[in-house]
Structure 1
Amino acid sequence: MLNEFKTFISRGNVVELAVGIIIGAAFTGIVNSLVKDMLMPPIGWIMGGIDFSNYFISLSGGRYDSLAAAEAAGAATINYGRFINALINFLIVSGALFLIVRQVNRLHFMHKAEAGPSRQEVLLEEIRDALRARAATPDTAPPPNRPA
């Protein structure tokens, strides 16, 4: 069992996944700061000083001036403002990842185009061209005998 575990851990995919998770956690901190400190203040200012993180519904029926006051009182709340912030975070992260993956794919395609076609592609092109040439010329010879 120990050897199987060593094999599992030493495979490249597990190590790459671990690196991805660590980078993702660091990236999440950056995105959270971007949303909280850079994007939400202008959006709140444009919308008249609205702070989404302070939007909530009190389920206990009390009236609270802020989410912090409701939490301090121990009130049950639905924090839909925090959900809006999380949704904005998600959209920013997914947009950034889309741009990164798109750029990596573009660089990979450019690198592949510079390398030229692979040996298999060259052979397939030769077979295709031979089949086209054969189809274009009438064949007068009988087909070869094939064993059944």
Structure 2
Amino acid sequence: MGGCCQNFCKEFKAFALRGSVIDLAIGIIIGTAFVNVVQSLVDDVITPPLGLVLGGVDFVNLTIKMKNFVYKTQPPVVIRYGKFIQTIISLLIVALALFFVIKAINKVHKLATRKKAGKEGEELVQLEMDDQVKVLCEIRDLLAKQPIATAR
């Protein structure tokens, strides 16, 4: 039983300490922090002036109260569509930010690919030139070894 547990612990440690898992965890933590910042931006910066423009409406308080027909002694059911609107705005901002991040990553990837292809092309040309130079040097050496023919 102890050997099985030790093997499991070793395998789990190897899995958990693998680079991709750590990168994923860091991405999740940064993503969560980013979502919190965007949520604050929407709740505290964007929707208050938008509500002011719309006649002093507080988005958090935009609700529909439905009378509870089943249990008449219970409070009414409240649909908070204002918070839903704020959440949609947050989603749009996060999607827009991700779009720009992915666009930038793709641009950097294309540049890196072009530079790599350019370097490989230069190396290929250099190798071809080196091969040509080698052949020419061999021809020169062979011609130098041949006896000089005299004119008749």
Q: Same fold (TM over 0.5)?
A: yes
1:7 matched residue in structure 2? 14
- CA distance in 1: counterparts of 2:118 and 2:18, whole angstroms: 30
Larger Rg: 2
- CA distance in 2: counterparts of 1:15 and 1:42, whole angstroms: 40
Distance 1:118 1:87, change over 3 A: same
- CA distance in 2: counterparts of 1:60 and 1:3, whole angstroms: 59
Task: State the secondary structure of the residue aligned to 1:58.
Answer: strand
- Post-superposition Cα deviations, 1:29-69, rounded to whole Å, max 9, x if no partner, equal 210121122211221122222222111122345xxxxxxxx
1:77 matched residue in structure 2? 78
2:101 matched residue in structure 1? 100
Task: State the secondary structure of the residue aligned to 2:55.
Answer: coil
- CA distance in 1: counterparts of 2:118 and 2:15, whole angstroms: 35
The runs of at least 4 consecutive aligned structure 1 residues that moved more than 6 Å come to none
Q: Which structure 2 residues correspond to residues 41-56 of structure 1 after superposition, within 5 A?
A: 41-56=48-63
Aligned length: 110
Per chain length, whose mean CA-contact separation is higher, i.e. which structure has more relative contact order (CA < 8 Å, sep 6+)? 1
For structure 1, list consecutive stretches of 5 or more residues without a partner in the other structure. 62-72, 124-148
Distance 1:114 1:57, change over 3 A: same
- Post-superposition Cα deviations, 1:2-28, rounded to whole Å, max 9, x if no partner, equal 122112212222111110111011111
Q: Percent identity?
A: 41
Q: TM-score, normalised by structure 1?
A: 0.64
- 2:24 maps to a residue whose letter is L
Q: TM-score, normalised by structure 2?
A: 0.63
Are residue 26 (structure 1) and residue 33 (structure 2) matched?
yes
For structure 2, list consecutive stretches of 5 or more residues without a partner in the other structure. 1-7, 69-73, 125-152
Task: State the secondary structure of the residue aligned to 1:87.
Answer: helix
- CA distance in 2: counterparts of 1:40 and 1:17, whole angstroms: 32
More helix by percentage: 2
Q: Which structure 2 residues correspond to residues 102-121 of structure 1 after superposition, within 5 A?
A: 102-116=103-117
